[in-house]
Amino acid sequence: MAVYTQVSAEALGAFLERYDRGELLSAKGIAEGVQNSNYLVETTADRFILTLYEERTSTDDLPFFLDMLDHLAADGNPVPRALPDRDGAAIQQLAGRSACLIEFLTGVSVSHPTAGQAFAAGAAMGQMHTSLAGFDQVRANPLGADTWRPFLERCGRDIDTIEPGLFDRTEAALTAVLAEWPRDLPMAAIHSDLFPDNVLMLGDRVTGVIDFYFACTDIRAYDLAVMHTSWAFDGNGENYDPAIGKALIDGYASRFPLSDAERAALPILARGACLRFLLTRAWDWLNTPADALVTRKDPLAYWRRLETYLKDDLFA
């Protein structure tokens, strides 16, 4: 959400000389993504996103992310590819960081999706899952189900400063989810973070799926469950919109054959997704100063979603 690394116009101009993509006309630092620095760059030829990778982990995993994007783009999915320079290299060094020049996609992220938009976004995920059946690279999910208990323990009792009793309630919910967590569903490369922020749309059309830096190998239907938790509730997590929830699943199923086992597992997968985001948001909440300009996302919005999934079968 911030530009951590400043790139001078002089350095950017020299960087662009490695590509056949025109000369620098404009560059603006943009507030996009959560962990990297991004610039919207305009040249005499086109517009691009310049991403500088701030975290060592994501740098190590860059080849996985870029290969997955290339695979999806080659199959017609609207995802942004990292562009190769004249020598064919997509990963560069700039301002002391690994950096990529990335395709710019038009479209805006909707804040209040309509059912038509949710259907289209679900269909875009279904289409990606169809394409990714042919992608065989593997990246363990650094925020997968096996990490949730250690994550809760790292947060510790401090989590009760967010709301009294939250540790015990989270611990109980986690124990229940892990006891039922499916171990025999198909695994695949997934996005794992397909919130409305990460889908660009024009009207009811998906023009871009972005921010693949949490992409990993995990239960394929978990990807759809994450999407359900993030699209079908309001920002506070208080109100569930069944028309949006249905449209997401219907859209997905229109492009990818959701099996009966996957469909049956959606409630438990959604509860797991709620715990994953509750835990990472709680960690960020406890470790971000209240007056920092980074927006802290409310962990309790995910507790409220979890309670709704516990109360009703939203996939019935």
Near a copy of itself in 157-216, by CB under 8 A: 200, 202
Least distance between a copy of itself and beta carbon 35 (Å): 13
| Beta carbon nearer to a copy of itself, 271 or 281 | 281
| Binding-residue total with a copy of itself (CB under 8 A) | 33
| Beta carbon nearer to a copy of itself, 99 or 270 | 99
| Beta carbon nearer to a copy of itself, 219 or 232 | 232
Q: Which stretch binds a copy of itself (CB under 8 A): 51-59, 153-161, 241-249, 292-300?
A: 292-300
Q: Give the integer Cα–Cα distance in Å for 268 and 31.
A: 34
Near a copy of itself in 4-43, by CB under 8 A: 4, 8-10, 12-13, 24-32, 40, 42
| Beta carbon nearer to a copy of itself, 11 or 140 | 11
Q: Which stretch binds a copy of itself (CB under 8 A): 76-84, 87-95, 288-296, 300-308?
A: 288-296
The answer to whether residues 207 and 124 touch, using CB atoms and an 8 Å cutoff, is no
Least distance between a copy of itself and beta carbon 112 (Å): 6
Least distance between a copy of itself and beta carbon 184 (Å): 40
| Beta carbon nearer to a copy of itself, 137 or 287 | 287
**Among positions 56, 134, 164, 293, the unique one binding a copy of itself when judged by CB under 8 A:** 293
Q: State the binding string over 112-131 for a copy of itself (x if CB under 8 A, else -).
A: x-------------------
| Beta carbon nearer to a copy of itself, 96 or 111 | 111
The answer to whether residues 208 and 107 touch, using CB atoms and an 8 Å cutoff, is yes
Q: Give the integer Cα–Cα distance in Å for 16 and 30.
A: 18
The yes or no reply on residue 95 touching a copy of itself (CB under 8 A) is no
Q: Give the integer Cα–Cα distance in Å for 114 and 239.
A: 15
What are the tokens at 163?
Answer: 């709301």
User: How many alpha carbons fall within 13 Å on the CB side of residue 177?
Assistant: 27
**CA distance readout (Å), 136 to 96, 129, 131, 243:** 31, 12, 11, 35
**CA distance readout (Å), 154 to 33, 151, 157, 185:** 25, 5, 9, 29
Q: Give the integer Cα–Cα distance in Å for 229 and 269.
A: 10
What are the tokens at 93?
Answer: 């060094």
Least distance between a copy of itself and beta carbon 12 (Å): 7
User: Phi, psi (5° rounding) for residue 24?
Assistant: -60, 125
DSSP strands (E only) in the chain: 24-30, 37-43, 47-53, 92-94, 97-103, 187-190, 199-202, 205-209, 216-219
Residues near a copy of itself (CB under 8 A) are 2-4, 8-10, 12-13, 24-32, 40, 42, 106-112, 200, 202, 289, 291-294
